Structure 1
Amino acid sequence: MDFLKLLRSLEEFLYELCTWFLFFPRTLYRVVVRPRQMAQYVHTELTQKLENQFDDAISPPMFLMLAVLVAHGVELLMHQQVTGTGQLSRTLFGNEEGLLLYRSITFAVWPLICSVHLLRRRQRPITRESLRGPFFVQCYLTAPFAVALSTSMVFVRLPGELSTQAGIVVSVLSLLWYAVVQARWLKMTLQRSWLNTVLSTAWVLLLGIVINSLIGWALLAT
């Protein structure tokens, strides 16, 4: 009986894994081309029953983790595996699970910060339920940025001036895209002036950079 349950679990996992190959590029394309519509799509899907949510796409948190996984796959293909210098960083980066978890958390910092910022500006209580909607939207918007930025860093580390320049260009373009998308989303949700929106966007991005930099510094120092 337990063996049959295991087979059914493996069957479901295999099916889910195969659907990722279809829905990940499809969802990525929709987010890059139509980020505003995908934000509305999240709110619509969250009103459905749990088993029917995101039936024609990948759920936002899973989409963000898969984006990190794709970028990590590019890194492995280029033989640019990250290694730590401190004891804690060597332990964390010494296995694939730890490295992927670390990168997923660092990119998830921006969705969390932006979601909290939105709720505070709208003077709404910060609860698990109130965070869910904006956090899911932000996971969608952050995933293309995670793929592009992580991949660009791989090319920056490759030997050769051309690959380094290409990596820098891609990283700058990805950051610009992410900043514009964030500004448009904050403008739409907060209904504030463009000056206020730009300041909010700069604050969110800067705070995310500072937090991730502190995490990286702590890992390197221990």
Structure 2
Amino acid sequence: MDFMKLLKSFEDFIFEAASWLIFYPLTLGRIMLHPLKAMEYSDREQSDDNEHRYDDSLSPPLLLMVTILLSNLISTAVHIAPPDATTSMLKTITATQQNLTLFRTLLFSLIPLIAASSVVRRQGKKLSRQTLRAPFYAQCYLAAFCAAFVAAGDVFLRRPELNNAIGATIICGGVLWFLVVQSAWFSAKLNISRPKAAIIAVWATVRALVYMLLVVIPVGYI
């Protein structure tokens, strides 16, 4: 009986992993073409039952994690070395692809977390897991697409034979796209003007980057 349950679990995993080959590029395409509609779709999916939630796409946190994983694999394939493991914590993080992917995903998820908390507070709602979930999931869609830009640009920056200007342009383009969509999202959610929403979007992103540094810097010394 236990063996049959294990076999069924493995069967479900194979199907789920294989389906990512379809739904990963499909979800990225939706975000690229219609980012705000993709975020609205994420909000609607929160009301579905667990079995049918994100049935025709990848869930936002999973999309972010898969994007980070693919960026790590691409970096390895083009012989970009991971950060020098000068501390015991860094050695643990870079010891396996799983550890590195999990750490980078958690680090990058600070961006959607801070944006989600910003909109919840400005809407006058109580900050809780329930109120954070929907905006956090929606924000993960934006973060995943931005991460794809950053990963692609990073390849150009870290390979000496490639054009660094192209890498910088790709990263700047991804960040600009992120801030423009982020501003539109804040404007719609808070019913405020685009200029005011842009200030909130930039401030939320800056705060997230500061928190990321507060995580990364101690890791380099522990």
TM-score by length of structure 1 reads: 0.95
Structure 1 residues 45-54 or 15-24, which shifts more?
45-54
* Percentage of identical aligned residues: 31
Q: How does 1:83-98 map to 2 (within 5 A)?
A: 83=83, 84-98=85-99
Q: Deviations over 1:35-74 (max 9, x none)?
A: 1111111122112222111111011111111111111121
Q: Which amino acid aligns with 2:194?
A: W
Q: How does 1:108-127 map to 2 (within 5 A)?
A: 108-127=109-128
Structure-2 separation of matches of 1:90 and 1:51: 38
What is the SS of the residue equivalent to 2:131? helix
Structure-2 separation of matches of 1:39 and 1:151: 23
Q: Deviations over 1:174-201 (max 9, x none)?
A: 1111111111111110111233212101
Structure-2 separation of matches of 1:81 and 1:10: 33
1:46 equivalent in structure 2: 46
Structure-2 separation of matches of 1:126 and 1:63: 25
Structure-2 separation of matches of 1:146 and 1:44: 24
Structure-2 separation of matches of 1:159 and 1:10: 43
Structure-1 separation of matches of 2:150 and 2:195: 27
1:132 equivalent in structure 2: 133
Q: How does 1:34-113 map to 2 (within 5 A)?
A: 34-83=34-83, 84-113=85-114
Structure-1 separation of matches of 2:86 and 2:32: 35
2:146 equivalent in structure 1: 145
Mark the runs of 5 or more structure 2 residues left unpaired by the alignment.
Answer: none
Structure-2 separation of matches of 1:33 and 1:74: 24
8 Å CA contact 1:85–1:220 kept in 2: the answer is: yes
Structure 1 residues 49-58 or 15-24, which shifts more?
49-58
1:29 equivalent in structure 2: 29
Mark the runs of 5 or more structure 1 residues left unpaired by the alignment.
Answer: none
TM-score by length of structure 2 reads: 0.95
How far did 1:87 drift?
2.5
Structure-2 separation of matches of 1:194 and 1:20: 35
More helix by share: 1
How many residues end up aligned between the 2 structures? 221
Q: Which amino acid aligns with 1:165?
A: A
8 Å CA contact 1:74–1:151 kept in 2: the answer is: no
Q: Which amino acid aligns with 1:117?
A: S
Q: How does 1:158-169 map to 2 (within 5 A)?
A: 158-160=159-161, 162-169=162-169
8 Å CA contact 2:182–2:198 kept in 1: the answer is: no
1:200 equivalent in structure 2: 200
